[in-house]
Amino acid sequence: MAGIRERFGGIDTPAALLGMFAAFGVLVFLGALVTAGAAGITYQLNAVDVEGNIVQLSLVGMATALVLVFSAFLAGGWAAGRMARYDGGINGIGTAIWALLMIALFGAIGWFFGTEYNAFQRAGLPNWFSQLRGDGVTALTVSAAVLSVAAMFGGGYVGGKFGEMFHQRADAAIADASDRANTAHRRRETA
């Protein structure tokens, strides 16, 4: 089994990319649910609004956003771990790395060409790099961005490990069935 893991394990880039898309999809869905149904609870994923203005963050909004980010990347990491089969934790972290690169890419596009070109900002997706510039940056803004990135990586890793555990149980069941079949075959040969 170690040879198979060595051969097929490691970083699986397509699994991590698809995990990133799954995480963003879950984040949008959960955010829409919270916005539509939570009585008075709002989440604040970004400290920058659609027009590029820095807004005041609330602790409840930040905490809700952290739970949403962790949950979304838990799901995305799980998807990556299931697709990759082995090394789910690494591939869950890969999901978060790809997401961070996309956030940085769209932040840079918004920085150089104008905020109207930052699709993440306009879609309500994470836009943490854009909120770290300007005069209105506070310690709370920076802390929110750092905690969100930590929640993203933590959720991706844990989700990836959960996805990998499914395959560990399946592999153990296959090995057990194979051992029983081999034992039964040997008994028939010796009888």
- Alpha-carbon distance 177 to 41, whole Å? 51
More confident residue, 19 or 106: 19
Mean pLDDT of the chain: 81
Residue 188, both tokens: 């028939």
The pTM score is 0.82
Tens-place pLDDT, residues 20-75 = 999 999 998 988 888 887 655 667 777 666 566 666 777 778 888 899 999 999 99
**For residues 154-159, average pLDDT:** 96
List, in sequence order, every residue forming a beta bridge with 106; answer none if it has no partner.
none
Cβ–Cβ under 8 Å, residues 81 and 92: yes
- Alpha-carbon distance 65 to 60, whole Å? 8
Tens-place pLDDT, residues 60-81 = 788 888 999 999 999 999 999 9
CA-nearest of 112, 114, 144, 151 to 128 is 144
Q: What pLDDT is stored for residue 41 in this prediction?
A: 63
Q: What pLDDT is stored for residue 26 in this prediction?
A: 94
Q: What pLDDT is stored for residue 137 in this prediction?
A: 67
**158 pLDDT higher than 80:** yes
- The lowest-confidence range among 87-91, 141-145, 175-179 is 175-179
